[in-house]
Structures are given as C-alpha cells and as structure tokens.
C-alpha cells in the first residue's frame, strides 16, 4: 500500500520541458497545501517520483527546498515528513493574516467600483455553491480567490507582496476548518462585500477582522 495515500492517477505526470525541479517543487507544495499529503506524512522519494513520473533526483531537490521553507521536516535516519504545525505557528500566521486582510478590505472599500463588486459577488456565489455541494476543496479555492481579489482591489503592491508570502500557509490552515466554517463563512463574505460596495471603510475593516479572527479561533478549537 502506498504510504503517500494518494489515489492512483490523482497526481498528473509532469511534462519534461522547463525546470523540472521547480515543477516538482510546485506539485509537492500544492499537495501539502491542500492536505492531500497530511501533516506528519512520511514522504518516500521513490513513491513520490513514481506518482509524478520523474526520477528521484528532482524529488530530493524539491524536498530540500521545502525543508528550508518549513513545509517539510528532514529527520536523520528517518527521512522526510510533512511538517506538523504547532498551535503557536498557526496563531502567529493567522494573526498576521488578520492585519493584512483588514487593511486590504479598508483600501478596497475606498476604491472598488461596480465591476469589482460584481466580480466579488460572482466568486461568492461559486463559493456558496461549493459549500452547498459539500465540495471542501472548491470552497477553499473560492475562499482564497475571494480574498486574493480583495487584496488586488486594495491596490497596494507592498501589501499584496506580503499577503502572497502567507497565502499558501493560510490555505493550509484554513482547509481543516473549511467544512466547520461552511455557510457562515460565506455569510460573512456577503457582509464584507456589502461594506465594500457601500464604500464604508470602517465597516469593511471590522467585518474582515472579525471574519479572519473567527477562522483563527476555530482552527485552535477544531476537533483533533
């Protein structure tokens, strides 16, 4: 039985052109971020190479890079394992996320026009459909897309760059609570979009802060 726990055919073979080690890195990071590879999972080079259709060398290089960035733990004489985040790590990351997202919401409320509001509403509708279908992956993806759109509307390049640095880790922490947050999360998104549409900077900031704080709280209270 495969220790990676991935269904046969779930991971597409990587095409050869381009920097292969970078593509292997991105593929493994996506699997970790979406928790297809769960925290604590033993990462066996030969099996990962087989799933991705590559040799072990680019997998080894990708694991080294992932270790440097804190996604993977390399243990002497044991091998590579998906990092298991501590409560403190999660709290620090989600606290920073709250600060960044609240400022983005304020800036978006100051500048967003009708077309931007329509785009946010369309993303929200997709997220609501995903929740109704119990499509956790879809809901997580739409949640990330909506927050990214608000960050884009903020129009602050430095803020966007900082947010991009934590985006994947936010998805990593959000995935375990996505089903619990469920419909309520998208009700909060609707309130946020309404505040942005009304150009109410203070209200948009408050709603976003409460929204992201609720996710942080639920992460710590989640069922183990």
pLDDT tens digits, 115-158 = 999 999 999 999 999 999 999 889 888 998 999 999 999 999 99
CA-wise closest residue to 209 among 109, 105, 116: 105
- The listed range with the strongest mean pLDDT (17-26, 76-85, 172-181, 195-204) is 195-204
Owner of token pair 């990676």: 4
**Per-residue pLDDT, 13:** 56
Closest CA to 137 of 6, 12, 2, 31: 31
Tell me the whole-structure pTM to 2 decimals.
Answer: 0.75
- Given a contact cutoff of 8 angstroms between Cβ atoms, the answer to whether 102 and 209 are in contact is yes
Give the model confidence (pLDDT) of 17-39 as tens digits: 558 889 999 999 999 988 889 99
Alpha-carbon separation of residue 43 from 6, 37, 134, 218 (angstroms): 12, 9, 29, 29
CB 138 within 8 A of CB 182: no
Partners of 15 in beta bridges: none
Contact yes or no for 69/58 (Cβ under 8 A): no
The residue among 166, 27, 177 whose CA lies nearest residue 89 is 166
On whether the CB atoms of residues 216 and 180 are closer than 8 A, the answer is no
């Amino acid at each position: 039985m495969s220790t990676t726990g991935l269904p046969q055919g779930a991971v597409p073979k990587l095409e050869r052109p381009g920097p292969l080690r970078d593509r292997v890195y991105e593929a493994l990071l996506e699997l970790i971020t979406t928790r297809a590879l769960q925290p604590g999972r033993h990462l066996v080079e030969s099996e990962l190479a087989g799933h991705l259709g590559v040799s072990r060398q680019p997998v080894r290089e990708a694991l080294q890079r992932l270790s440097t960035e804190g996604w993977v733990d390399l243990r002497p004489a044991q091998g590579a394992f998906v990092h298991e985040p501590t409560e403190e790590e999660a709290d620090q990351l989600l606290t920073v996320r709250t600060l960044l997202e609240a400022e983005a919401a304020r800036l978006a409320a100051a500048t967003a026009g009708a077309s931007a509001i329509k785009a946010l509403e369309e993303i929200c509708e997709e997220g609501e459909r995903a929740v109704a279908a119990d499509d956790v992956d879809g809901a997580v993806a739409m949640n990330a897309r909506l927050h990214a759109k608000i960050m884009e509307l903020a129009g602050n390049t430095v803020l966007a760059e900082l947010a991009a640095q934590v985006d994947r880790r936010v998805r990593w922490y959000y995935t375990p609570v996505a089903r619990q947050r469920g419909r309520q999360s998208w009700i909060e998104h609707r309130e946020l979009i309404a505040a942005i549409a009304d150009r109410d900077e203070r209200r948009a900031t408050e709603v976003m802060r409460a929204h992201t704080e609720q996710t942080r709280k639920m992460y710590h209270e989640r069922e183990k």
